[in-house]
Structures are given as C-alpha cells and as structure tokens.
Amino acid sequence: MIKEAKTITLMIPYRNYDLEALRIAMKLMDRQTHPFDEFVVSDFASVEPYKSEMKEICDEFGIKRIYTEISADDKIIDVHLWQMCYNIGIRAATSDLILVTGIDRVYEERIAEAFLWYYNTGVRQTKRDQVILGTCVKIHRTPSIEEFGDFDKIAAEGKCRGGLGALCASKDYWHKIHGIDETIRWYADNDFYGRSRRGKVGIRWINRFRGQIPQTRIIHTRTHMASRKRHGGYDVLEITRRGKRFINKHVPNRKVIRNDENWGIFTEEKLLRAIRQSQWTKEDMEESSRVWQEDKARWHEIYADNWGFDRA
C-alpha cells in the first residue's frame, strides 16, 4: 500500500555555477507555507572558488552537502553524467518525497505545500505512487531579492512558461527505478518523464497551465531556449557538432529501470564505463564543451552583468 508523504527534501545537483539564485532561494525559504524538511546539495567535483562558496552557503543555511572528488578530465565531466550527480544526492535524501531541481531556481511560497498536496491527493485518489512535475518560467537574468517581492512582475519577463523545472517522487519510487539513467547524455528530465509513464505511476503537473494553482511558480534564472526536436514521442535535447545533430540514443529505450543496484555510488571506473556506453567519443565531448563555452560567452555579451557568468 502506498503511504502518504509527510516530509519533503529539496535536492540540488551542482557543479561550477554562479550561486546567486541559490542564495536568494534560501533566504526566501522562511516564506514557505510548509517548510522543506531537508536540503541536499550534490556537489560534483566543483573547483575553486565555487567549491568554497558552496560550502559556505551550505554551512550558513544548514544544507547537507555531498562533495564528490573526481580525477577524470574536466571537459568530460562538464558535458556528461550530470545524472550520476543527481543520483548521489537522491540516495542521500531521507524524506518521504524528494524534489529534484536546479541551482538556478527560485520558488514561490507555496511550492513545498503544493508538491506534498498533489502527491497525497493522487495517492488517495488512485492508490498508486505519484510523480509530480513542476514547470518553470524562464527568464534571462537573476533578479535581486527585493524584486522577488513581486513574483508577478518577474514572471511577466518569461518567454517560456512550460519548461520542466522540477522532478518530484517518493523516496521509495526513486529507489525502485534506480534513479536517473546514468548513461544518458545531458538533461534527463524528458527521459524520467517517459520512464514514469511506462512505469504506470500517476503523473501530475504543477503550473502546467497558467493560473492552475496560486503561489507555486518556479523562476528559472539566466536561461535561454535550447534547440529541441520531436523524437520517440517526447522532446529530447539536441547537441550540434560540426553541423551534425546528436540525439540521445537512450531515450527510446523502453526499460523503466536502467541502472544496476549501485546507482548513485560513484567510482571512476563507473564514470568511464558509462561514457563508453553512451557511444560518445572524447572528441564529441570536447567539441560539445567548446560549443557550450561559446554560447556562454555569447549570452554574457548580450546580457552583460545580468547573465552572471563573470568568472573563468
């Protein structure tokens, strides 16, 4: 029998990224109508100054931080295996519900309450486990903490209101499916959604449509639209290399469970094996890293200091 959830963890994967949005989000947590019971950051081999800055924030706000030391090539890490970073944090979380989101998100005051309510309502109505998906409003900058006093004004800047901003499932379900597929390339949101559909759990959306429920918006800061292509029944990200498009080969895989029982446990051997399984060459990864650095520089130039990429 599926039990209703009483506690909720906010889990954030992280590596070498500006931390202003996280500082703002944590300072606004006292506005939550239902407090998060636990905060977890999975820090995937960040280097200085990001490593020290994240540690300071975690110490200040009581965040559980799991740091993973990696000796592999940084270029490989930057463009691959975010999913292992996700899973390390998911395995460390202890609440009934685990909400997985990004380092560049800021939340309105009913977000924890809403995820718990949607999950428990779904369990009562269907007697099945539930996956709750939170959409986000994407904007190109990080507003100040004072500006977040008016969420309506900030949200009005968003050009995309349907981006997937958060994945939430019970701890039991995350462990049942062995977390995020650790061989998938780039973002795993769509893959997780597809596997959940095939796993025959209830799927509910928060803020999929404007005005669905008040005060539950997620602002995705400093973002731009990625290129996407319809494939296998749902959207997957594309990566361009020398004019060719690489579409994730794993997305159409019909299996619900992809990882073995050691999911979320990092080893260097596991990292390299997953890279080989993904059918990417080192040259592919280096090229994708170069393209990302060029995009980052271009957006920094367009939005100047608002973009936030002000360190090497």
Query: Rounded distance, CA 285 to CA 301, Å?
Result: 24
Residues 251-260 have pLDDT tens digits of 556 788 888 8
Q: What per-residue confidence (pLDDT) applies to 217?
A: 86
Query: Rounded distance, CA 264 to CA 84, Å?
Result: 6
End-to-end CA distance of the chain: 51
Residues 9-48 have pLDDT tens digits of 999 999 888 898 999 999 999 999 999 999 999 998 888 8
Q: Which residues pair with 195 in a beta bridge?
A: none
Q: What per-residue confidence (pLDDT) applies to 6?
A: 96
Torsion of CA 256, 261, 263, 269, to 10 degrees: -120
Q: What per-residue confidence (pLDDT) applies to 296?
A: 56
For residues 81 and 198, the answer to whether their CB atoms sit within 8 Å is no
Q: Are strands 8-14 and 97-100 parallel, antiparallel or unpaired?
A: parallel
Q: What per-residue confidence (pLDDT) applies to 279?
A: 53
Please, which residues have CB within 8 angstroms of residue 127's CB and are 6 or more apart in sequence? 1, 2
Of 253, 133, 128, 99, the C-alpha closest to 201 is: 128
For residues 128 and 202, the answer to whether their CB atoms sit within 8 Å is yes
Q: Report, in angstroms and rounded to the nearest whole number, the Rg of the chain calculated over CA atoms.
A: 19
H-type alpha helices, 226-281? 268-277
Query: Rounded distance, CA 22 to CA 272, Å?
Result: 31
Residue 49 — φ and ψ, nearest 5°? Answer: -90, 0
Residues 195-250 have pLDDT tens digits of 888 888 998 888 654 445 678 888 888 764 443 333 332 233 333 334 344 444 44
As given in the structure block, the two tokens for residue 221 are 């800061």
Q: What per-residue confidence (pLDDT) applies to 145?
A: 92
Pairwise pLDDT comparison (112 vs 81), residue with the higher score: 112
| Domains, the chain | 8-306 (3.90.550.10)
Q: What per-residue confidence (pLDDT) applies to 93?
A: 97
Residues 92-145 have pLDDT tens digits of 999 999 999 988 899 999 999 999 999 999 999 999 999 998 888 888 888 999
Q: What per-residue confidence (pLDDT) applies to 301?
A: 54
Of 157, 220, 167, the C-alpha closest to 190 is: 167
Q: What per-residue confidence (pLDDT) applies to 240?
A: 38
As given in the structure block, the two tokens for residue 299 are 């957006």
Q: What per-residue confidence (pLDDT) applies to 294?
A: 66
As given in the structure block, the two tokens for residue 38 are 């636990």
293: pLDDT strictly greater than 70: no
Q: What per-residue confidence (pLDDT) applies to 237?
A: 37
Q: Which residues pair with 65 in a beta bridge?
A: 41
